[in-house]
Amino acid sequence: MTQNAYVGLGSNLGDRAGYLLLAVRGMLDAGLDVTRLSNLYETAPVENENQPAFLNMVAELRGSTLPSPEQLLACLLRIEYALGRTREVPMGPRTIDLDLLLVKDEQFNTQFLTLPHPRLHLRRFVLVPLNELVPNLVHPVLKKEVRELLAHTDDKAKVLRWQP
């Protein structure tokens, strides 16, 4: 049986598009089957607004046997570290940010990982690219399709398809 996972990618320092592509390459090099990528979207920062704009996208991972959610998270954290991610300022600027959004229809809650991502349904910069890939995907907790979450989110921030 094929299983899917979705990863949100973001960057707002340096060569933003380059960092996103390096992160995708890192996932491939780690043996993850990256099957689809959304377009790139430029978005304003959320919460800590005194920083450069982000480029965001979503990657779909697919396989008959995906690593466990904890293993996926560990892989993403290694990629962030390799690409110079630091965590000095909460919600601050970053070369790369990799968020595990969904793994199959699993619900998961530990000290280190919550699935689905607890703010997924609140953020247009995640919902727009996720909707591009899987508009009919049902959120396992809220029981609504991604397209519905996007249509009803209170977040009105502009999420614009990036034109280099």
Q: Give percent of the chain above pLDDT 90.
A: 79
Q: Which CATH number fits domain 3-161: 3.40.50.300, 3.40.50.2020, 3.30.70.560, 3.30.750.210?
A: 3.30.70.560
Mean pLDDT of the chain: 93
Q: What is the mean pLDDT of residues 8-19?
A: 97
pTM over 0.75: yes
Residue 99 falls in the annotated catalytic set: yes
3-state class percentages of the chain: helix first, strand second, coil last, to nearest 5:
30, 25, 45
Q: Which long-range contacts (CB under 8 A, 24 or more apart) does 152-156 make?
A: 153/121, 153/122, 153/123, 153/124, 153/127, 154/122, 155/122, 155/123, 155/124, 155/127, 156/124
The catalytic residue among 16, 99, 123, 124 is: 99
**1 has pLDDT over 70:** no
Per DSSP, helices labelled H in the chain are 16-29, 69-82, 124-133, 146-152
Residue 16 falls in the annotated catalytic set: no
Domain extents for the chain? 3-161
Residue 94 falls in the annotated catalytic set: yes
Q: What is the mean pLDDT of residues 107-136?
A: 95
Q: For 130-161, what is each residue's pLDDT tens digit?
A: 999 999 999 999 999 999 999 999 999 999 99
Q: For 68-104, what is each residue's pLDDT tens digit?
A: 999 999 999 999 999 988 777 777 789 999 999 999 8
Residue 105 falls in the annotated catalytic set: no
**10 has pLDDT over 80:** yes
**More confidently predicted of 2 and 60:** 60
The catalytic residue among 15, 25, 33, 94 is: 94
Q: For 33-77, what is each residue's pLDDT tens digit?
A: 999 999 999 999 987 778 999 999 999 999 877 899 999 999 999
